[in-house]
A and B are shown apart, each in its own frame.
Chain A
Amino acid sequence: EAQVTQNPRYLITVTGKKLTVTCSQNMNHEYMSWYRQDPGLGLRQIYYSMNVEVTDKGDVPEGYKVSRKEKRNFPLILESPSPNQTSLYFCASSFTGAGETQYFGPGTRLLVL
C-alpha cells in the first residue's frame, strides 16, 4: 500500500530532551516536507527537500533540523525541544515538487513539558 508513515504518533517529552520524529514514504517521491499545525494558524511549512541531500527552510524552521540521506526517509529533529514546539506535526511527500498532490502522513502529536 502506497503510504507515508510517521513515528511516533504521540509523544510527551520534557524541555531540552532531544527527539527525532521519523517520516518514510514508499512511493519513490522526490519531494518531502514537514509541517506543524496549531489552532488558528493552519499548517506551516518547517522544512522541505527536493531530493536526497537537498533541503530548504520553510516558514518556521527555527528549532528544527532535518536530513535527507535516503530518498524514502526525511526525519525531523528537535535538538532541544521547548514548550512552544508543542504541536501537531505532519510529514508529506509528492513526486517532484510543491505543485503536485501532497500525500500526508497520519500526524504526530507532540507535547513538550
Chain B
Amino acid sequence: RKEVEQDPGPFNVPEGATVAFNCTYSNSASQSFFWYRQDCRKEPKLLMSVYSSGNEDGRFTAQLNRASQYISLLIRDSKLSDSATYLCVVTEYGNKLVFGAGTILRVKS
C-alpha cells in the first residue's frame, strides 16, 4: 500500500465547475499536510497548507480528517488556469516528505 494515495484522474471539468480531490495517508504519525501544484513537469509549488480546522484561500478550501487519515482539496469556480497536477504531501518523523502521485485536473472552456 502506498503511503499517500490519490486518484490519478484525470478530472475533466468545465469552467466554473466545483471539483474535489481526496488523498489518504497511511502513517497516523504524519504531522504536516500540504497541497502542491505542478504544471506540466515543471517544479511543484505550494498551493496551501492543510490544517485540522480547515482552511480557505480564495476559491480553494482544504480539509484534514486525522481520524480517517484523509485530506481534501475543493476548488470552486474552476478556471482554465487551474489545469495542473495537484500533489498531496505529508511529512513524517525525521523530517521526511512523502508525496502522492498526483491528481490531474483539466478545465475546459
Contacts and interface: CB of A to CB of B under 8 A. Distances in A.
What class of interface size applies to chain A in its complex with B? 20 to 34
Contacts of B99: 35, 42-45
A31 interface: yes
B32, B87, B99, B100 interface centre (most CB from chain A within 10 Å): B99
A81 interface: no
Nearest to A41: B101
Interface string B30-45: 0110001000011111
A98, A105, A106 interface centre (most CB from chain B within 10 Å): A98
A50 interface: yes
Contact of B46 (A35, A48, A101): A101
Interface in B11-65: 31-32, 36, 41-46
Contacts of A48: 95-97
Given A41-B101, A98-B91, A99-B32, A104 B96 contact: no
A50 B95 CA distance: 8
Interface string A79-113: 00000000010100000011101101111000000
B38 to A, nearest CB: 9
Nearest to A107: B43
Interface of A: 31, 33, 35, 37, 40-45, 48, 50, 56, 58-59, 88, 90, 97-99, 101-102, 104-107
Interface of B: 4, 8, 31-32, 36, 41-46, 87, 91, 94-102
